[in-house]
Amino acid sequence: MNLQTETTHPDWDPFGRPLFDSPSARALSRVGVVDVGSNSVRLVVFDGAARSPAYFYNEKIMCGLGAGISDTGRLNPKGRARALSAIRRFQHLAKGMDLSPLTAVATAAVRDAEDGQEFRDQVLRETGLRIWVIDGEEEARLSAQGVLLGWPGSYGLVCDIGGSSMELAEIKDGRVGKRVTSALGPLKLAGIKGGKRGRKAHIQSTIEDLSKRMGPQRDRLFLVGGSWRAFARIDMLRRNYPLHVLHEYRMTARQVRETIRFIQQNDHEQLRQGAEISSTRMALVPMACEVLERLVRTFRPKDIAVSSYGIREGMLYEQMPQRLRDRDPLIEACRFAEAKDARFPGFGKTLYNFVLPLFKSAPISQKRLIRAACLLHDVSWRAHPDYRAEICFDNATRANLGGLKHSERVFLGMALLHRYRNKREGTRFEDIFELLDDKHQLQAEVLGKAMRFGAMLQMQENAISSSLRWFPKKKQLQFRLSADARPLFGEVAEARLQSLAGALAADLRITVR
């Protein structure tokens, strides 16, 4: 195999060419969305690679529009004033960012309130922003599409809880299927008569009805919404979990039950401070726990995953052509980062082909991570050399990237750490390393050291005929170097090759031809 810029298959099968730089994708490059919820009003501005956009701007105001609506039938007056003020601010921000018109949607509180239309008219009159009210099933569909933005081709049951409602949607083969809505939001549950016993009976009967309508759902349960994210933060606190990234955080049914007991048995103010949750959000967590306990008991999912993507991301997904939806968000985001920040854009593909012989038998899921690492291998070059390795690890493990389990984040981060550093001992991330088993830690080290070596053999666009061959049964690593590239193979390059051979515990053979 040659270390070259052009490959025998330019489309990089099975990942395809990047689409973020096509005209139709660029049209999605900056999109502003306002979500007027029962508890909060939020502005999110997306930018970056269209298939995996970053949060260019993200601001939330806890307004409590739906507080007390069960008793009065109307929006909370103070919440209404705060929401109007927030929307007025968001409109001014949008003008300053030179955004196309904001897209605004409202959910259960505005949908159900007697004065919902009056509020919308006031917002339009005073700010010029038109708010679209969506029904419960549409809310479920958009939330499920938000999950698909981060997990293309995923399957399971999406549960989105807001202040005044809770929606369920089935996703299968990358599509949204059955969907239902209910009034199981914490703000609505607060008005149920009969105290905790009355709420429990109401929750049980409602979820049993939802279960009949949705049918068996034993795959993954995706949790969407602020109350679920707050619950996950407390679960992390209880487990002393080292990687505080909510997206794709996994829990088992047993862990959910243990955390519910943990919340019941501990001081809520201490939990709030320890998990860094706002007091407004923490007030909703106990009732959200009652819903989650019955939800898990009824549907019995195989596992539970937290999604930071929901209705806002679903609205962005709505605007994507299908060919863009089908793309891998991780690869698209990494390709975008390389084009924007690397010293030699396009070399990631070259490097991937160079290191691939070391991973010939790797499953496609791991080759995907190898490809991502190669694309990102040089995007942090501006960092100070003394801190570059740690910055690479930090960026990879905490970045806004879709389609990555936490263990995969650690693999990617560790590979990039070893791109700049031989040893990982002595860093501040050693507790996070434990999320990856020893076998995959070694593979990440091998990948990082292979990238570290390969990067020394290409400093220009023209190809250099060099290749690696790996014979795992013989424990033999072969490096073939063309005579015209011999000057590039100096002392430092040789030392890096020796380090790679050491990681493989391999006998090294070098051939110049």
pLDDT tens string 141-150: 999 999 999 8
| 321 vs 378 pLDDT, higher one | 378
pLDDT tens string 460-477: 444 556 899 999 999 999
Task: Specify whether the CB–CB gap between 470 and 392 falls below 8 A.
Answer: no
The residues pairing with 166 across neighbouring beta strands, listed in sequence order, are 161, 182
Supply the pLDDT for residue 7. Answer: 36
Mean pLDDT of 307-312: 92
What pTM did the predictor assign? Answer: 0.89
- By C-alpha distance, which of 120, 118, 290, 282 is closest to 199? 290
- By C-alpha distance, which of 300, 287, 304 is closest to 203? 287
Mean of per-residue pLDDT scores for the chain: 90
- Of 85-89, 210-214, 323-327, 432-436, minimum mean pLDDT range: 323-327
Task: Specify whether the CB–CB gap between 32 and 45 falls below 8 A.
Answer: yes
Residue 45 burial (CB count, 10 A): 21
Residue 377 burial (CB count, 10 A): 28
Residue 381 has pLDDT above 60, yes or no: yes
The 10 Å CB-count burial string (b at 16+, else e) for 206-224 is bbeebbeebeebebbbbbb
Task: Specify whether the CB–CB gap between 122 and 84 falls below 8 A.
Answer: yes
pLDDT tens string 496-511: 999 999 999 999 999 9
Residue 73 burial (CB count, 10 A): 11
Locate CATH 1.10.3210.10 in the chain: 327-460
Distance of CA 137 to the CA centre of its chain: 24
Task: Specify whether the CB–CB gap between 123 and 105 falls below 8 A.
Answer: no
Supply the pLDDT for residue 130. Answer: 95
pLDDT tens string 214-258: 999 989 999 999 999 999 999 999 999 999 999 999 999 999 999
Supply the pLDDT for residue 488. Answer: 87
Locate CATH 3.30.420.150 in the chain: 137-313
Whether residue 152 is preceded by a cis peptide bond, meaning omega within 30 degrees of 0, is: no
Using 50, 70 and 90 to split pLDDT, how confident is the model at 413?
very high
Using 50, 70 and 90 to split pLDDT, how confident is the model at 486?
confident
Residue 29 has pLDDT above 70, yes or no: no
Which residue type, as a one-letter code, is found at position 391? Answer: I
Using 50, 70 and 90 to split pLDDT, how confident is the model at 11?
very low
Task: Specify whether the CB–CB gap between 500 and 478 falls below 8 A.
Answer: no
The class of domain 137-313 in CATH terms is alpha beta
pLDDT tens string 424-433: 988 899 999 9
Using 50, 70 and 90 to split pLDDT, how confident is the model at 12?
very low
Supply the pLDDT for residue 28. Answer: 56
Instruction: Pick 327-460's CATH classification: 1.20.1630.10, 1.10.3210.10, 1.10.260.40, 1.10.10.10.
Output: 1.10.3210.10
* Cα–Cα dist 489/466, whole Å: 10
Q: What is the DSSP letter of 39?
A: S
The residue written with tokens 């795992």 in the block is 472
- Judging by DSSP bridges, how do beta strands 31-36 and 103-106 pair with one another? parallel
Supply the pLDDT for residue 463. Answer: 53
pLDDT tens string 266-276: 999 999 999 99
Mean pLDDT of 31-47: 92
Supply the pLDDT for residue 14. Answer: 37
Report phi then psi at 396, rounded to 5: -70, -40
Q: Across the chain, how many H-helices and E-strands are there?
A: 23, 14
| 30 vs 288 pLDDT, higher one | 288
Residues in the chain: 513
Complete DSSP assignment for 197-227: HHHHHHHHHHHHHHHHHH----SEEEEESHH
Supply the pLDDT for residue 324. Answer: 85
Using 50, 70 and 90 to split pLDDT, how confident is the model at 436?
very high
Instruction: List the structure tokens of 481.
Output: 């170097």
Using 50, 70 and 90 to split pLDDT, how confident is the model at 2?
very low
Supply the pLDDT for residue 480. Answer: 92
Using 50, 70 and 90 to split pLDDT, how confident is the model at 1?
very low
Using 50, 70 and 90 to split pLDDT, how confident is the model at 485?
confident
Task: Specify whether the CB–CB gap between 191 and 128 falls below 8 A.
Answer: no
The class of domain 23-133 in CATH terms is alpha beta
Supply the pLDDT for residue 152. Answer: 84
pLDDT tens string 148-171: 998 888 899 999 999 899 999 999
Q: What percent of the chain has pLDDT over 70?
A: 92
pLDDT tens string 182-216: 999 998 898 888 888 999 999 999 999 999 999 99
Task: Specify whether the CB–CB gap between 465 and 3 falls below 8 A.
Answer: yes
Using 50, 70 and 90 to split pLDDT, how confident is the model at 128?
very high
Supply the pLDDT for residue 466. Answer: 85
Supply the pLDDT for residue 4. Answer: 36
Locate CATH 3.30.420.40 in the chain: 23-133
